[in-house]
């Protein structure tokens, strides 16, 4: 017999075949890998849907100024409450509008302040139309009206009309009245 093989048999027989040492059984940790995958997928879906929702709302506010305007009102004042034929009345118009802050869109602003259509007034100077481009805020202009007719009842000045990107925006406010008297 070969001494090498004989030595291997002795060593193999000498070493225990199975371990006689008993190991303490530790409870296995829960495997969180599948849960983290599901949680991360759900989180990504929530973020993507939120970005899509905000993007669609932003586009809708950009394309429709009525949806973008949060507040709009006007104040109109005149320099007198009673006028005679030939008098010049100064009309001050202040229009306030504002859209959402983030993001804020630049709009083409046109304000038309019609004067009464009862032929008691005619424009004396300047224009009753204001054109601008802006992000919201306060727009103020003035113009002059000349009294050319007599009316028995007080004349209420009509409210101005606000156009943002050629779309009419409703305004809230109170217009003053002018009493026209004969000399």
The CA–CA distances, whole Å, from 99 to 66, 79, 95, 164 equal 9, 31, 14, 11
HSE toward the beta carbon, residue 19, CA cutoff 13 A: 3
pLDDT for the residue numbered 113: 85
| CA separation for the pair 130, 44 (Å, rounded) | 48
Q: How confident is the model at residue 97, as a pLDDT?
A: 85
Neighbour tally for 88: CB within 10 Å: 13
- Spans of the chain below 50 pLDDT: none
DSSP string over 37-81? HHHHHHHHHHHHHHHHHHHHHHHHHHH-HHHHEEEEEEEEEES-S
pLDDT at 124: 82
State both tokens at 44: 């990504």
pLDDT of residue 20: 55
From the number of C-beta atoms within 10 Å of its C-beta (0-12, 13-18, 19+), residue 91 rates as buried
What integer pLDDT is reported at residue 145 of this predicted model?
A: 85
129-156 pLDDT per residue, tens: 888 887 877 888 888 888 887 766 788 8
CATH numeric code, 69-181: 2.60.40.10
pLDDT of residue 46: 97
């Amino acid at each position: 017999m070969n001494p090498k093989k004989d030595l291997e048999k002795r060593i193999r027989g000498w070493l225990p075949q199975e371990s006689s040492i008993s190991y303490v059984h530790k409870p296995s940790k829960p495997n969180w890998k599948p849960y983290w995958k599901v949680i991360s997928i759900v989180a990504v879906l929530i973020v993507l849907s939120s970005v899509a929702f905000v993007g669609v709302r932003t586009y809708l506010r950009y394309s429709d100024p009525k949806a973008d305007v949060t507040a709009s009102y006007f104040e109109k004042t005149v320099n007198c409450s009673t006028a005679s034929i030939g008098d010049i009345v100064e009309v001050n118009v202040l229009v306030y509008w504002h859209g959402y802050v983030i993001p804020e869109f630049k709009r083409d602003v046109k304000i038309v302040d019609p004067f009464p259509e009862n032929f008691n007034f005619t424009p004396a100077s300047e224009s009753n139309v204001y054109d601008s481009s802006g992000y919201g805020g306060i727009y103020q202009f003035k113009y002059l009206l000349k009294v050319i007719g007599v009316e028995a009842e007080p004349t209420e000045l009509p409210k101005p009309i606000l156009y943002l990107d050629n779309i009419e925006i409703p305004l809230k406010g109170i217009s003053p009245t002018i009493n026209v008297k004969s000399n």
